[in-house]
Amino acid sequence: MELIWHGHSTWHVTVGETELLIDPFFDNPKTDLEPADIDTPDYVLLTHGHADHIADAGEFSDATLVATPELVSYCQAEFGFEDAVGGMGMNLGGTVECGDAFVTMVRADHTNGIMTENDASGGMPAGFVISDTKPTQVSDEESTAFYNAGDTSLMTEMREVVGPYLEPDVAAVPIGDHFTMGPWQAAVAVDWLDVDYALPQHYDTFPPIEQDPEEFEREVKATGSDADVVIAAADEPFEI
């Protein structure tokens, strides 16, 4: 599995021969790329409907959309998407097969107005666990899984469900504070998840979420977690 962070919460994930793009938003200070620089992936995954997560989704409308039914309907009407998993999207708790990947949608504690119209509900926000094998009750040491927590606060589901049952090896967690977890809560999440690698996201894009990612690294160490914090360079591949 290969991960490429394009700044903010935008990730390009390759599992086998399948390419997935999460929350395309290239108007951020970390990336040097434009949407046109990215080949259309097989799947576009959207955690929720805020503008800083779906603003560039329409540039990839030939992909198959993975999102809640509410968000799928909006993106079909506004961005021209025609294909969605299951015909109408998926919902929290579901696992869908996306080429060589399995995508499980999990909770995220956040709000979900579509774009900047906060009176237009996008349904529940979400996170995703992307794995190369289907999740089962039987632990699979050979499986590889990436958890993108989306925009969220700290929640016990990370400790009770995502960590022990979906067993991510790598977690991307928001550290920007103000709108999501800050460094200390994100560090607790990493400890609960028991991952090998922790990657900060959703920071430095706007003044309210400016953060020093090294503070997050210090907070992770303070929890006693064995996770390695990887402060990703934008547009550079990270191999799991």
Task: For 147-163, write each residue's pLDDT tens digit.
Answer: 999 999 999 999 999 99
Query: Which residue, among 153, 78, 152, has the nearest Cα to 114 in the 3D structure?
Result: 78
Measured CA to CA, the distance from residue 173 to residue 39 in angstroms comes to 25
Which of 49-63, 69-83, 110-124, 141-155 has the weakest average pLDDT?
110-124
pTM: 0.97
Measured CA to CA, the distance from residue 131 to residue 134 in angstroms comes to 7
- pLDDT (tens digit, 9 = 90+) per residue, 5-28? 999 999 999 999 999 999 999 999
Residues contacting 220, CB < 8 A, separation 6+: 187, 190, 191, 198, 227, 229
What the block records as the tokens of 23 is 């929350």
- pLDDT (tens digit, 9 = 90+) per residue, 170-216? 999 999 999 999 999 999 999 999 999 999 999 999 999 999 999 99
Is residue 16 packed enough to be buried (19+ CB in 10 Å), middle (13-18) or exposed (0-12)?
exposed
Residue 131 pairs in a beta bridge with 102, 145
- Mean of per-residue pLDDT scores for the chain: 96
Q: CB of 126 within 8 A of CB of 105?
A: yes
